[in-house]
Amino acid sequence: MNDGVLNFSVLLHWLHQLIEQLDDPRQPSNGTKFSLKDIVLGAFAVFFMQLILKQGEIDVLPLH
């Protein structure tokens, strides 16, 4: 990794490191089917795609 360079790989690596430090506060139940890592990465994916779409970096195809 290059110091001072922010790209998607660096951002994802940083996010994985932060997720590893999180404690899962959920009690064992059906709600714990997915790991906390999966939940955080899924939320990040939605946020990141919305950010890119708002910046116009991806052409959006009409859904007909």
How far from 40 is each of 1, 34, 62, CA to CA, in Å?
23, 10, 29
Q: What is the pLDDT of residues 4-59, one digit of tens each?
A: 677 788 888 999 999 999 998 888 887 778 899 999 999 998 888 887 777 665 55
Q: Name the strand (E) or helix (H) holding 41.
A: helix 36-55
Report CA 37 to chain centroid distance, whole Å.
9
pLDDT at 21: 95
Question: For the chain, how many residues are written?
Answer: 64
32 versus 61: the higher-pLDDT residue is 32
Q: What is the pLDDT of residues 32-46, one digit of tens each?
A: 788 999 999 999 988
